[in-house]
Structure 1
Amino acid sequence: NTIINGVGPASDPEGSDTVRRTIHGIDAQIVTNVAQHTGNGLEESELNAMMKQLWDCGSKNVDIMLVNGIQKRAISSLIMQGRGYYAEDSVLKNVVGVYESDFGIVRVLLCRWMPDDEILFLDSGRIKVLPVKGRAFHHKALASTGDYMMGQVVGEYVLEFRNENAHGKIHNLPV
């Protein structure tokens, strides 16, 4: 959830006694390639327009379209308009797992923490979650009494988000 929606503090980003350190999430970092939806429903032309916009900005490998359940169903419903089936078909599939446009092939990934009105277009090769030096997840033993042992799991990670122009989002979609 923090990786996608995290918002870093405006002051003391390194943290202090009163301000905890937080990750500035992917959604908050995408500011250049943001398309505002203005129509009634999601249209394929909007997906293509965003892919072209990212390609024009120099991105050549947008490979993930991150959506929540509402927008996943909207994308899947795009294929139902021109789809036929036969009477002997016993299964009707209405699922889009991969979207192919003139500007690349994108996996459509479902994420429950995505905002209801957004679709993120991401280049996974430019995003990493890395441990802060010396703070990878580890078990730290605490004081023990007799046979009673205590400990805690400690770890701190950071989001490495390269080339903000390589990513985009469509915002204000109907829910």
Structure 2
Amino acid sequence: MSVPANTFQVYTQKNIREDLINAIYNVDPFKTPFLNMCKKTEAKQTNHEWNTDKLDAQNLNNAAVEGDDPTAQTLTPTARIGNNTQISTKVVQISGTSQAVVAAGGSNKMGYQLLKKSKELKRDMEGILTFNQAKNAGSSTVPRNAAGMPSYLNTNVVFQTGGAPSGANPALATNGWTDGTNTRVYNGTTVAITEAMVKSMIQKVFTSSGDCPEYMLVSPTNKQNISAFSGPGTRFIEVEDKTLRTAVDIYQSDFGDVKIVPDIFLAHSGDVFGINPNYVRVAYLRPFQTIPLAKTGDSDKKELLVEYTLELGNEHAQGAIFDTNG
């Protein structure tokens, strides 16, 4: 059937209003589990320091002669460990005209853009805190850097040897501890994470600290790989509701339950961290703040700023698996 002659259609109409809804859809993820699970503390200097200590090894020959005049044991001083604060920023600048016009969803408004940038800033921090980066005091032309988790972990670590390069833990400082001045070496060859690796890491943490990691921070790929473990308690069938459950949210180890937490924003997806949140903190020299910047023309400019660092109270309470293909 043909359209009658001179029928007015939308194809030639010039005054049709746009159909643009007053909303903006953004589904980009912004959850930062490591940043959220870390306790918060205050830094008072750009070089934030803390004390770490450990007990002497068990002595199975600890027997004293009756009436003997005892000799005092050698006392080991605490290890003074530190990290540098790092400044992370986001800047929003919007012209006066852009703010005056009507935009769908208010995307031209300072509040909307600051909210968006604040989520991006937290995502940056999540990666920086888990980044294989050494601390750097900076200079008048070079920014300060905070050392990330991999630069502090040495004792309870599972990684790949062999390969080119061979995996290696960060070198110990003269006080016998890692202090964030050295990065670790990743292996040239990665492998799939196994339950044996997870068990080994958890056992190391328990042996070193007497505690079981509360969380295991993993990439989405490693979350699925862990869910595919075939060991007892990692896969089961609910007969009552006929649901096949293949996701592992809590790993029941011999030393305690470990919550498996996927983290999209790990700096290196092959890293798996066993976290005891009682001994890891984010220290803020300057908490999150919004700073209005000088107006130099027909625009408004604001800076989101945070100055912070990682405080790893005692690395014996934490663990890690490196060199996985997660």
> Which category describes the TM-score, using the shorter chain as reference length?
0.7 to 0.9
The AA in structure 2 aligned to 1:62 is P
The AA in structure 2 aligned to 1:118 is D
What is residue 317 of structure 2 aligned with on the other side? Answer: 166
What is residue 138 of structure 2 aligned with on the other side? Answer: 15
1:146-167 deviation digits (Å, cap 9, x = unpaired): 9965432222111111101111
Q: How does 1:28-43 map to 2 (within 5 A)?
A: 28-37=151-160, 41-43=192-194
Contact 1:6 1:25 in 2 (8 A): yes
- Which piece of structure 1 moves more, 25-34 or 149-158? 149-158
What is residue 94 of structure 1 aligned with on the other side? Answer: 246
Secondary structure at the residue paired with 1:128?
A: strand
Secondary structure at the residue paired with 1:137?
A: strand
What is residue 105 of structure 1 aligned with on the other side? Answer: 257
User: 1:17 Cα shift?
Assistant: 1.9
> Normalized against structure 1, the TM-score is what?
0.79
Matched, 1:140 2:266: no
What is residue 226 of structure 2 aligned with on the other side? Answer: 75
Q: 1:105 to 1:16 in 2, by over 3 A?
A: same
Q: Which has the higher contact order (CA 8 A, sep 6+)?
A: 1
Aligned residue pairs, count? 170
User: 1:28 Cα shift?
Assistant: 2.3
1:132-153 deviation digits (Å, cap 9, x = unpaired): 1xx2222222323799654322
User: 1:46 Cα shift?
Assistant: 2.5
CA distance in 2, matches of 1:21, 1:147: 33
1:54-90 deviation digits (Å, cap 9, x = unpaired): 1111241410111112211111001489856589966
CA distance in 1, matches of 2:239, 2:141: 66
CA distance in 2, matches of 1:41, 1:153: 39
- Which piece of structure 1 moves more, 83-92 or 31-40? 83-92
Matched, 1:125 2:278: yes
Structure showing greater radius of gyration is: 2
CA distance in 2, matches of 1:141, 1:85: 57
Q: Tell me the percent identity.
A: 27
Q: 1:100 to 1:110 in 2, by over 3 A?
A: same
Q: 1:24 to 1:96 in 2, by over 3 A?
A: same
What is residue 37 of structure 2 aligned with on the other side? Answer: none
Secondary structure at the residue paired with 1:66?
A: strand
Residue number among 141, 144, 149 corresponding to 1:26 in the alignment:
149
CA distance in 2, matches of 1:87, 1:99: 21
What is residue 2 of structure 1 aligned with on the other side? Answer: 128
The AA in structure 2 aligned to 1:8 is A
User: 1:53 Cα shift?
Assistant: 1.2
Q: 1:17 to 1:64 in 2, by over 3 A?
A: same
Contact 1:119 1:170 in 2 (8 A): yes
CA distance in 2, matches of 1:97, 1:15: 41
RMSD (CA atoms): 3.1
Residue number among 180, 189, 195 corresponding to 1:44 in the alignment:
195
The AA in structure 2 aligned to 1:72 is K
